[in-house]
Amino acid sequence: MTNISPRVDIAFKKIFGVEENKDLLISLINSIVGIEDQVLDVTLLNPYNPKSFKQDKLSIIKAEGLDGKRFNIEIQISDEADYDKRALYYWAKLYTEQLQVAQDYSTLSKAIGIHILNFTSIPQAKNYHNIFHITEKDSGLVYFKDMELHTIELNKFTDNPNEKLSDIMLKVKNSLDMWSAFLTRNDLLRIDNLPEGLNNESLKKAITVLGVMNFSPEERDAYEDHLKWLRVETNTLKKMKEEGKAEGRVEGKAELIKIMLNNGINIDIISKQIGLSIDEIKKLIL
C-alpha cells in the first residue's frame, strides 16, 4: 500500500504509538508543550497492538514522562458535536486514573491533553495551536496548574490540496509546524530532498516508517474504512456548510450518517467515530 495518510488513526498510532518509534512521540510531544513539560523519555501506557487493534482506541496514545506527568495524544477524524466536552472528559480520566487505592492527592501529577484535529473546532481562534488552562477570571492567574489542554487544528495550518512544498515552507517556523507539514502534506516530502526547516532526523525517520508501513489484511480494511470516512466526511461537511445546515444538530448528524452508510462505510466504524451505539445510530436515521 502506498500514499498512506498519517492522519488516519491506525497509521498515526503505528507511527507514534509503538516502542520502536518512541523517539518520534517524544519529538512530537516536545514540539507542542512548554519548556517546563519537555520530556526525555516516556512510557507508553497503551502501545499499539496489532492483535487487539479492533478493540483498541486507535485515535488515542497515552504516555507517562519520567517525572510522572501524563500525556493523552489524540488524532481525531470526525467533527462531532460536543467535542470540547469529549476533550475535557478524556483529560479528567487521564488525571484521575493515576490515583490508586490508599494513595493521597499529593501523588497526582500534571495531565496534558493534546488533541490533533482534522477540522476546525474553535472558529474564534486564529492560531492553529491553542493552549487552555483554568485561570482566575479577572487577573488571569493560573492556580490549578495540573490542567493543560492543547488543540491543533490541522486545517488551519493548510486546507489547500493544491499548495506546493514552497508554500508549505513559508509556514514552517518551528518543530510543531514541521510535524503539521508531515501530517497534512506528507505526499510532498521526499527524504532525500528535504528543504531547510524540514531536514530533521525525526522527520526523516517518520517518512521512512510511513513509506515501509505494512498492514495485515484486517488492518488494511480498517485503514481503508477510516480513510473513506475522512474523505467522505470532509466533502460532506463542506457541502453542508455551503448549504447553511447546522452540522452539530441532530438532523445534521443523521444526514451525515446516512451519507456515510450510502458510501459503504461500516456501521461499526461510524459508531466508533461518532461515539454512538449501533442502536442509537439506527434510531437516529429512522
Q: Where would I find the H helices in the chain?
A: 9-16, 22-32, 83-96, 154-157, 165-169, 175-185, 201-211, 217-242, 250-262, 267-274, 278-285
CB contact at 8 A, 85 and 121: no
pLDDT value for 1: 41
pLDDT value for 156: 93
Domain ranges of the chain: 9-211, 217-285
Distance CA 151, CA 142 (A): 19
Please name which of 61, 59, 83 lies closest in space to residue 70, comparing C-alpha atoms: 61
pLDDT value for 3: 78
* pLDDT at position 101 over 90: no
Task: Output the nine-digit C-alpha cell for 268.
Answer: 461499526
* pLDDT at position 29 over 80: yes
* pLDDT at position 234 over 80: no
pLDDT value for 236: 60
Beta strands 111-117 and 70-76 are parallel
Lowest mean pLDDT of 29-38, 166-175, 193-202, 269-278, name the range.
269-278
User: Tens digit of pLDDT for each residue in 54-89?
Assistant: 767 778 899 999 999 999 999 987 666 678 888 899
Counting residues of the chain whose pLDDT is more than 70, the rounded percentage is: 86
More confident residue, 15 or 227: 15
Q: What is the pTM of this model?
A: 0.82
pLDDT value for 239: 57
Distance CA 201, CA 198 (A): 9
Task: Output the nine-digit C-alpha cell for 275.
Answer: 461515539
Q: Let me know how long the chain is.
A: 286
